[in-house]
Amino acid sequence: MSLSTELKALAAQEGFDHCAVAALTQADHAAYFLRWLDEGRHGDMGWLARDPHRRIDPTRVQPGAKSVVLVALNYFQEPAPHTGRMARYALGLDYHDLMLPRLERLAEWMAGQGGVQRAYVDTGPVLEKVWAAKAGLAWQGKSTMAIHPRSGTWFFLGSVLTTLELEPDAPMADHCGSCTRCIDACPTGAIHAPYQLDARRCIAYLTIEHKGAIPEEFRSLIGDHLYGCDDCLDVCPWNRWARETREAGFREMARPDLGTMLDWEVADFDRHFRGSPVHRLKLSRWKRNICVVLGNTGTAGDLPALRRQAASADSLVAEHARWALKKLECANRS
């Protein structure tokens, strides 16, 4: 049995749905990635622009690395109905905490075979989607999301850079064909052309990564998206074969109504979301997002809570609450 075959068997034992290997070379999308950064399409995700050549040359991250191991873990589930939609990946516990210990156990096994490794779950300077395509685990669709022919778009990626020379898998061809459903479904035009994403217009970026005020031109377009956006994933025809996740930790957490959460203090937010991807957002941006959603979907019953937040000492929350109030009050007058 080859090392690659043994490794894949271990990955399956750890609960990963897919595992594949690529030989390390410079990333195929290196020129595109550098141009994307130069055009500022990464917004204020400044870490992407720090020493970008490390992201396109993994040997700068792990000297002597010869292979990259990619794993995928399915997170799909149908969410319960709520006012305020959340991206499916954030409905349960933080995937970093669930995946990294398993990846580190794979890395420990590789160390026993003489390798030196670095394991990452969406936290290191590794272009996971590019390597997933090179390893034959997925292809990068027109939405720029990774797509697997049986799992669709609903999976997390993890990677291990290793000095072991593992048997690589064949790259996966692009199977998007003439389909443009993801492009057509994007509410803000963030996918402005096939395989071209401007993060500055993306609802996931605006409601999660962006730290400041959400530009007014996008607030109405955000609709009821409270945290992230699955619109381009929902319409992908490859998701017809998606199956519910086996991971109990990804199961959806209950949450109160938006008005209740708008009056939360920091301790309330921490108590409810600790261990969830939402927790890194912090209370201020969570309330910012609630205000936008209420401005788009709220009723007269939400006005008192919004008025309280319009007087908040937190300028970010107050500004978005005033916007929501103005929008709701205009709607109630008409």
Catalytic residue numbers? Answer: 122
Tell me which residue has tokens 């996918």. Answer: 191
Look at residues 116, 150, 121, 122 and name the one whose alpha carbon lies nearest to residue 136: 150
3-class SS at 143? coil
Sort strands 155-162 and 117-120 into parallel, antiparallel or unpaired: antiparallel
The two structure tokens encoding residue 27? 């990333």
CA separation, residue 268 to residues 227, 263, 273 (Å)? 18, 9, 9
Please give the backbone phi and psi of residue 311, each rounded to the nearest 5 degrees, phi first: -100, 10
Q: What's the CA gap between 286 and 317, in Å, rounded?
A: 9
**CA neighbours within 13 Å on the CB side: how many for 59?**
11
Report DSSP state, residue 156: E
Contact 247, 75 (CB under 8 A): yes
Helix boundaries (H) for 209-314: 216-222, 231-234, 258-262, 266-273, 282-297, 303-310
Under 8 Å CB-to-CB from 35, ≥6 apart: which residues?
A: none
> How far is Cα 99 from Cα 53, in angstroms, rounded to an integer?
26
